[in-house]
Structure 1
Amino acid sequence: MKNFAQLIKTLDTSNKTNVKVEALTEYFRHASDKDKVWTIAILSHRRPPRPVNTTLLRQWASELANIPLWLFEDSYHIVGDLAETIALVIPTTENQSDKSLSEYVEEMIMLKTKTEQEKREYLHQNWLALNYYERFVFTKLITGSFRIGVSQKLMTRALARVTEMDEDILAHKLMGDWDPQRITFQKLVLDEKPADMLSKPYPFYLAYALEGDVQDLGNPDEWSAEHKWDGIRSQTILRNGQMYVWSRGEELVTDKYPEFQSFLNVIPDGTVIDGEILPWVEGSVGSFNDLQTRIGRKTVSPALLKKVPVIIKAYDLLEWKGKDIRELPYEKRRELLEGMIEGVKDFNLPLQLSERISFETWEDALREKERAREVRSEGLMFKRKDSPYLVGRKKGDWWKWKLDPYSIDAVLTYAMRGSGRRANLFTDYTFALWQDNENGEKELVTFAKAYSGLTDKEFRMVDDFIKKNTLERFGPVRSVTPKLVFEIGFEGIALSGRHKSGVATRFPRILRWRTDKTIEEANTIDDLKALIPR
């Protein structure tokens, strides 16, 4: 655990890529194989299940620190991170632990079945046996909220240095459905077993956002364009008579989309399709809100299948007839994809081609982008015609040109403290819009929460206003005198029976502080609903 905690400290305190890769490389050179596997798992978000709920963690930490629970809770609100608060309030002792990372993780897994008293004793014993940063990392693992500033790409680069294996091959090996409790480092990384690759997806190729002038891309003839669909990025794999569907988040979601079983025995074996899972409601692309009714469901009922059917909009072919074709130029891969879809069109599969957009000038492309919301897309994708399918996010060949966000002027009504470096400021806000109540009087109705978009100076100014204009306190939440107006941007919008406003917005954030507007000039719920695509 000491070495792993030191690794995490280095990764967490540096923003230099070379420093992070070097730290990972040295760690993987000297760690045991078991610790290597668990480190790979933890850094790729395969964390063990949380064995203790946070209510008990807070209670037991305050007991060990010999402070009242209210003081612990106040400290937690200021610090903004539970594991860091626990690491700070529990006194450091002369005790030390030589247990490895894998020993700790295996104990945490077993802890889930223990009694509350056994869990309490285990935590007290280990909190006192670790120094501050070790205790912080240990508690992060217990809470299951372990996030650290390192990409899988950097971890793969470090492993490539240690094993002298190709980075792309390693990236492929680390994807898929493997269990850190049951797999060895030899089998996960070093062994070559074709059968193990049967269900594995390829690492996704990711586009950069186009922020400058689209004409900077050069000659339009060198580029292919299509709509950027707002669904779930996926790879659909057909190998050896089996089908697998993977999301971009490396989650195997085959059972969530039983419609795609119809691909078997129709689409040729040895095919991997890169595309977007989209809701297909009444013969057209639905909203992301429609798709959310199926995301996270343990079982998909026949009624839900009928209410929100889905399709795949296919835009690339990565494997064809058992051969990896990612090195082929994009134009050639598209030609094969279009031929494949044409060959199965009579089978009425839930599979459609993401059509390429014909444009001769960048002005033509702009006109198509401006009608993107009509077809339920977020904008356009540009792909260089001669580009191979690469790994991860690479600049140069794939660009996404997104629409400007929807926006609305809203009133700040509630606030909470932020987290991390903003834990001492009120930076998490709730916003409201005007609506006529049953008596015909105007009232503010909440519709969205946002916590990003202001400068540090602006956050401090708003924080000062909140502290001076608090109306009521509800635990960590404060209601605020309605006076400040902000322009709120968001990517998507749909009707929703789960929200008081009747509307759900996607990815809301603050675009600017409208110091030029009074609250009477803020928008209404009807204005918000008018933005919903028809």
Structure 2
Amino acid sequence: MRRFAALYERLDRSTGTGDKRRALVDYFRQAPAADAAWAAWLLSGGKVGGARARIASGGELRAWAAAESGLPDWLVEDCYHQVGDLAETLALLFDDPAPAQLAPDAGLAQWIETRLAPLANADEAPRRALVVGAWRSLRFGERLVFNKLLTGALRVGVSQGLVQQALAAFSGVEIALLAQRMLGTWTPDAAFFEALVSPEPQPGDGQLPYPFFLASPLEASPESLGDVRQWWLEWKWDGIRLQVLRRADGVVLWSRGEERMDGRFPEIEAAAAALPAGCVLDGELLAWRPGAAEPLPFSVLQTRIQRRRPGPKTLADAPVRVLAYDLLEEDGQDLRALPLAQRRARLAALLEGCDTDRLALSPRLAADDWTSASSLRDQARALGVEGLMLKAAQSPYRHGRKRGDWWKWKVDPLNVDAVLLYAQSGHGRRSTLFTDYTFGLWDGGALVPVAKAYSGLDDASILRLDRWIRAHTRERFGPVRAVEPVQVFELGFEGVNRSARHKTGVAVRFPRILRWREDKSAAEADAVDRLRALAR
């Protein structure tokens, strides 16, 4: 634990990416394989015990801390809201132990595997005893990391990509292969880590997807990209990014979220079984009725995502289709280094004779210039798509978000003018400011909440709005403040779906603040009916 706590402190104090990478490399060189595996897991976003295991809830931790420190509950709560990070708050509430009371040092893997994980979802008494014992016997740095393991939020400025860079520098294994091996569900143990950094082929490599190549938002004028004829134009589909792996022993489906989807979409697996073994397709999974001209709303697809074995009614109500737009492997040969135009030609030939209602080629769109490309983009929303994809015809298939070759040129967001109703403080460096906002629209003469937004304002506007919120609070509900409903903001969002879970009957997708409408009064804000009219 002390070695990992020292790594955490070094990472937390580093401001440069290079410094963080060197700190990670140094740690991986020194740490036992089991500890290194857990460090890679945690720094890549994993949690102790997974999503369903609970060592302690935030409420339990605050209650235990109050009882052990002798502080009243309200003061612990207030400290938490001022600090903004529960793990740090809990670490600050206890003094360092005397040398004789220090816990013997144990590795990160030992702490997790023999102490924390066995108590997941256990009765309160043993969980509390372990947690309080650690608070009393660990120094601040180790206590902070221990609390981070409990809360599942390291927040130390390290991405999975940076972890992979450090592992590549440490092991000499190509970063693309490391990224591939770290996709999906894996067990952080010594055996996995040794296989991860091994230069030799591993038995499970064939069942893993390739790291996805991600497009960047196009913020400049499309004319800055040069001749439109050097670019491959496609619709930006509103579905789930998917890789289809056809292997000798069957078909494997992987989402971009690193989740295996086998069994959830049997019609896709059946269609892909007609492909020759040794190929990998990249494409978009969409809800789409056979013979229809456009996809169904994303909300229809959502009804199937968590159904591991869909029944006949689900299959009929939410039929799906994959539109493939890239070929990453054929006859067992990695094609990613080939130009996109060559990969697409081979993909078109591969898909000939497939069940086009289930597995089809994403069409290339024709445009003579950027003006005609812009006209295509203007049609996107009416067709149920998000805009255009622009891909350099000569581009290889890279991994991660590498700027320059692939761009997403999305349609302008939908927008409404909404009234600020509630505000809550943020986290981390914004824990002392109100940065999380709830907005409402008019419905029958009353303002009803329709969206929460956390982004879009610059720092100066956040500070000014924070001062206004404090001066115009009407009620408090714990950390939430209800404010005078007079401030109007223009909100942007990608789409509106009908939703039985919301009182208004609609839900907006990806809301964010576009601007502060100080030129408008609350009475001029929009009504919910405007959203309902936009809902698909």
| TM-score higher than 0.5 | yes
The separation in 1 between residues aligned to 2:189 and 2:171, in whole angstroms, is 22
What TM-score do the two structures reach when normalised by structure 1? 0.94
1:372 aligns with 380
- 1:162-194: CA deviation from partner (whole Å, max 9, x where unpaired): 212222222222224322247342223216345
1:202 aligns with 210
Q: 1:339 aligns with which of 340, 349, 353?
A: 349
Q: Tell me whether 250-259 or 206-215 shows the greater mean CA deviation.
A: 250-259
Matched length: 526
What displacement does 1:251 show? 1.6
Structure 2 residue 315 is matched with structure 1 residue 305: yes
Q: What letter is aligned with 2:485? A: P
User: Identity of counterpart residues, as a percentage?
Assistant: 45
Q: 1:425 aligns with which of 433, 437, 461?
A: 433
The separation in 1 between residues aligned to 2:357 and 2:187, in whole angstroms, is 33
Residues 383-532 of structure 1: pairs in structure 2 closer than 5 A: 383-436=391-444, 442-532=445-535
Structure 2 residue 61 is matched with structure 1 residue 51: no
Q: Tell me whether 368-377 or 137-146 shows the greater mean CA deviation.
A: 137-146
What displacement does 1:386 show? 1.2
Q: What letter is aligned with 2:423? A: A
Q: Tell me whether 266-275 or 41-50 shows the greater mean CA deviation.
A: 41-50
Residues 50-199 of structure 1: pairs in structure 2 closer than 5 A: 50-94=54-98, 95-106=102-113, 107-112=115-120, 114-181=122-189, 183-190=191-198, 192-199=200-207
Q: Is the 8 A contact 2:244 2:272 kept in 1?
A: no
Change (3 A) 1:54 1:295: farther
What displacement does 1:370 show? 0.9
The separation in 1 between residues aligned to 2:422 and 2:84, in whole angstroms, is 18
Q: Tell me whether 365-374 or 140-149 shows the greater mean CA deviation.
A: 140-149
2:231 aligns with 223
1:314 aligns with 324
Change (3 A) 1:14 1:232: farther
The separation in 2 between residues aligned to 1:469 and 1:197, in whole angstroms, is 58
2:26 aligns with 26
Q: 1:293 aligns with which of 278, 281, 303?
A: 303
The separation in 1 between residues aligned to 2:219 and 2:319, in whole angstroms, is 35
The separation in 2 between residues aligned to 1:472 and 1:120, in whole angstroms, is 35
- 1:85-136: CA deviation from partner (whole Å, max 9, x where unpaired): 1112122223254111111111211121543211111111112222223222
Q: What letter is aligned with 1:101? A: L
Change (3 A) 1:404 1:170: same
The separation in 2 between residues aligned to 1:47 and 1:337, in whole angstroms, is 38
Residue aligned with 1:195, SS: coil
Change (3 A) 1:147 1:420: closer
Q: What letter is aligned with 1:39? A: A
1:439 aligns with none
Q: 2:333 aligns with which of 323, 330, 353?
A: 323
The separation in 2 between residues aligned to 1:382 and 1:227, in whole angstroms, is 9
Q: Is the 8 A contact 1:79 1:424 kept in 2?
A: yes
Runs (5+) with no aligned partner, structure 2: none
2:249 aligns with 241
Runs (5+) with no aligned partner, structure 1: 437-441
What displacement does 1:501 show? 1.6
Q: Is the 8 A contact 1:433 1:446 kept in 2?
A: yes
Residue aligned with 1:377, SS: coil
Change (3 A) 1:258 1:90: farther
Q: Tell me whether 304-313 or 427-436 shows the greater mean CA deviation.
A: 304-313
1:35 aligns with 35
Residue aligned with 2:529, SS: helix
- 1:462-489: CA deviation from partner (whole Å, max 9, x where unpaired): 2222222222222222222111000011
What displacement does 1:453 show? 1.3
Q: Is the 8 A contact 1:244 1:254 kept in 2?
A: yes
Residue aligned with 2:258, SS: coil
1:274 aligns with 282
Q: Is the 8 A contact 1:97 1:130 kept in 2?
A: no
- 1:181-223: CA deviation from partner (whole Å, max 9, x where unpaired): 4734222321634531121111111112111110111112211
Residues 253-264 of structure 1: pairs in structure 2 closer than 5 A: 253-264=261-272
The separation in 1 between residues aligned to 2:12 and 2:287, in whole angstroms, is 39
1:213 aligns with 221
Q: What letter is aligned with 1:210? A: L
Q: Is the 8 A contact 2:488 2:516 kept in 1?
A: yes
Q: What letter is aligned with 2:107? A: S
Residue aligned with 2:203, SS: helix
The separation in 1 between residues aligned to 2:12 and 2:218, in whole angstroms, is 29
Q: What letter is aligned with 1:195? A: P
The separation in 1 between residues aligned to 2:289 and 2:525, in whole angstroms, is 34
What displacement does 1:158 show? 1.4
Residue aligned with 1:20, SS: helix
Change (3 A) 1:348 1:357: closer
Q: Is the 8 A contact 2:34 2:190 kept in 1?
A: no
Change (3 A) 1:240 1:147: farther
The separation in 2 between residues aligned to 1:315 and 1:83, in whole angstroms, is 44
Q: Is the 8 A contact 2:34 2:189 kept in 1?
A: no
Q: Is the 8 A contact 1:235 1:247 kept in 2?
A: yes
Change (3 A) 1:210 1:348: closer
Q: What letter is aligned with 1:396? A: G
The separation in 2 between residues aligned to 1:230 and 1:19, in whole angstroms, is 38
Q: Tell me whether 470-479 or 367-376 shows the greater mean CA deviation.
A: 470-479
Q: What letter is aligned with 1:401? A: W
Change (3 A) 1:348 1:385: closer
What displacement does 1:250 show? 1.4
What displacement does 1:252 show? 1.6
The separation in 1 between residues aligned to 2:20 and 2:338, in whole angstroms, is 33
Change (3 A) 1:469 1:11: same
Q: What letter is aligned with 2:111? A: Y
What displacement does 1:348 show? 5.0
What displacement does 1:416 show? 1.6
4+ residue runs over 6 A deviation:
none
Q: Is the 8 A contact 1:175 1:203 kept in 2?
A: yes
What root-mean-square deviation, in Å, do the aligned CA atoms of Structure 1 and Structure 2 show? 1.9
Q: What letter is aligned with 2:72? A: P
Residue aligned with 2:61, SS: helix
Q: Is the 8 A contact 2:45 2:160 kept in 1?
A: no
Residue aligned with 1:61, SS: helix
